[in-house]
Amino acid sequence: MEWLMAGICWATFAQTPPPPRCGPPTELDLVVIRLSYEVAAEVSTCGRCGAPLGAGLHVLTQYDGRRRDWRISVATRCHGWRRHRHLAVVRETSNELRLGPLRPCARSWE
């Protein structure tokens, strides 16, 4: 019965669009992004050598305060001997986080 109540409550909220956001990403955004990419790195392999990803994960926020949008870069390396660097870009569009894929950097020595 609880799931029925949750559905009814959710339908009430779904009728009104969420308010437009402005400003930098929130702490909750950053936690969700970090956890999402930790899981993605845990189950992914290097696009160059096939070694597991997840050797260190860095989340870099780029927000200058003048524009409404922001961008977050997520970087990690593979566990292979070359430690290939992988990057993903997170953006916000229409009040939704868009998590880009982890891709190997163009330069092979990174």
Point out which residues pair with 62 in neighbouring strands.
Answer: 71
Nearer to Zn ion, 70 or 84 (CB): 84
Q: Which stretches of 1-110 are DSSP H helices?
A: 2-14, 27-43
Q: Which is nearer to Zn ion, 53 or 72 (CB)?
A: 53
CB of 72 to Zn ion, least distance (A): 23
Residues that bind Zn ion (CB under 5 A): 46, 48-49, 51, 78, 80, 84
The CB-of-97 to Zn ion minimum distance in angstroms stands at 27
Cβ closest to Zn ion, residue 32 vs residue 49: 49
Q: How far is the CB of 78 from Zn ion (least distance, A)?
A: 3
Handedness of CA 73, 28, 31, 11 (dihedral sign): negative
> What span, in angstroms and rounded, lies between the C-alpha atoms of 43 and 53?
8
Rounded Cα distance between 62 and 71, Å, is 5
